[in-house]
Amino acid sequence: MAQNENLADLSAAGVAVWLDDLSRDRIRSGNLQSLVDGHSVVGVTTNPTIFAAAISGSESYDDQLHALAVREVSVEEALRTITGADVRDACDLLAPIAERQPGDGRVSLEVAPGLAHDTDATAAEAAHLWWLVDRTNLYIKIPATEAGLPAIQTSIRRGISVNVTLIFSPDRYRKVMDAYLTGLEERLADDADADLSGIASVASFFVSRVDSEIDKRLDAAGADAALKSKAGVANAQLAYQAYEEVFSSDRWKALESHGARPQRPLWASTGVKNPELPDTLYISELIAPGTVNTMPEKTLKAYADHGTPGTPVQKAYDDATSVMQAVRDAGVDLDDVFKVLEDEGVQKFVDSWDELTESVRTELEDKK
């Protein structure tokens, strides 16, 4: 099957196209394979909200749920068995890509969001999920909370590949990159001859949620309407500037000599939430080498149909700096924005996890 031209061009520009969705139905129907074959998809991300939608109302899980109910396993064990099975199957489907393109061909599985502020528990569950799925092309998703940062560092030191999620500010992103590099350095300190090439990481920088929160505050401040829906892209562009700085440093080059791979920026939350915006905005304006863009299928198909490249990220740094300064000058407290977004992001995933847990509990009781 020929690849879609718009998405093939995006890949050629250095943007890895990932799908932000997964379900057993998608795998079994051949839909995921068709997106790989025709839409340049080379990775998959998941989160509790995605799994809650996947399992709810689908008959594809009935046999496994029945077997788990008969065995009288706990809800927590059943939940991890079910989601782990889907992720493992997706890893197997994408394995040929991972062999050709290390760092891609990956599927992400998130630690329980309720652990977001518990360093030790997060690191322990990351290790457990890594063992449970048992695929080298897995990413364990760990939130970039203050408690999450040392868990990321520990996981990298243990050789676990990590997708760091819920990053909203360039400042927090710099701490994420430092945790990654420190983890690699600690692994080398444990074994001076260690080959670091088997460890991969991406840093999921959220985009559309930033616009939603800042636009609300700009309206409340009576700011110039021309500022609206500009900060999400500008904020991400400045994150990429930080990425270029860190991964051209002498510190990085020392690790690179041992086979280390850069921690690529991943643009997340790329479906537009404001219907007045172009539906491909957060793809077109975030094209840069060595990045990942994870998209809902609707956004993926929109770019395939009518996406066009915008200003390359590396040419936008001055304008991005001006936009963020104008937002501050309009009275928006960016530190508070990023804190609110992180707190809300964790809570949204906790709510989805609770919904998923309750759904599985109900299914187990029905299947006894």
Q: Terminal CA-to-CA distance of the chain, rounded, Å?
A: 44
DSSP β-bridge partners for residue 266: 204, 292
Q: Which residues contact 352 (CB under 8 A, 6 or more apart)?
A: 47, 48, 49, 51, 52, 113
Strand residue runs (E) in the chain:
15-19, 41-44, 106-110, 138-143, 162-167, 201-206, 264-268, 291-295
Which of left, alpha, beta for 215 (phi over 0: left; psi -120 to 50: alpha)? Answer: alpha
Strands (E), 259-362: 264-268, 291-295
- 141 catalytic? Reply is yes
- Mark 197-218 as b/e (b = at least 16 C-beta within 10 Å): eebbbbbbbbbbbbbebbbebb
With CA atoms as reference, report the closest residue to 169 among 334, 286, 287. Answer: 334
8 A C-beta contact, residue 367 and residue 66? yes
Residues involved in catalysis:
141
